[in-house]
Amino acid sequence: MLAVMIDDAAKERAEKAHRALLDLVAEKIRGTGAIPRNNPIVDLAATVRDDDFLFEMKSTTERNVHSQVRRAISQLYEYRYLQNSPDAKLVVVIENPLPAEKRWLLDYVIKDRELLIAWDGDGKTLHCPTEISKQLSFLT
């Protein structure tokens, strides 16, 4: 019984964090005059300043950040294909900054996969690496 309660609490926390990320990113998109959209497949999509973006939000903890980033990457490629948006910029949005031992994921996401990544940290502001800050200036 205790394991079920712990699992339910973790699921509830993850759902709350996911919703908070969706709301925060949607608010930032609306701040540009763009309209955030979603469907049963995609967390959020928007055209901001003539660029199409697809966003995947992930709740994260130090224990699950690696698997969550990995999931987001695969989902975003799938979404871009399913939405027939080959030029859309793909953005991984995570709940927390990467822990020191996982910071290599920034290079992997940005340089190797050519995706964008941002994270919350205070519930109000999104952060991203300096090298992609121009592309995501509307989020920060």
Note the pLDDT tens digit of each residue in 39-72: 989 999 999 999 999 999 999 999 999 999 999 9
Q: Which of 37, 10, 62, 28 has its CA nearest to residue 136?
A: 28
At 122 the pLDDT is 85
98 residue type, one letter: L
Per-residue confidence at 2, pLDDT binned at 50, 70, 90? Answer: low
What is the Cα–Cα distance from 55 to 46, expressed in whole angstroms?
Answer: 9
Rounded to 5 degrees, what are φ and ψ at 97?
-60, 155
In the predicted structure, residue 7 carries a pLDDT above the cut 80: no
**Tens of pLDDT along 76-114?**
999 999 999 999 999 999 999 999 999 999 999 999 999
**Assigned domain for 15 exists:** yes
Rounded to 5 degrees, what are φ and ψ at 27?
-60, -45
60: CATH:
3.40.1350
**Assigned domain for 138 exists:** no
* Cα angle value 126/122/46 (rounded, 5°): 30
**Assigned domain for 92 exists:** yes
Rounded to 5 degrees, what are φ and ψ at 90?
-100, 130
* Cα angle value 34/131/116 (rounded, 5°): 50
- In the chain, the N- to C-terminal Cα span, in Å, equals 43
**Assigned domain for 137 exists:** no
At 13 the pLDDT is 78
* Total domains, the chain: 1
**Assigned domain for 125 exists:** yes
Answer yes or no: pTM beyond 0.85: yes
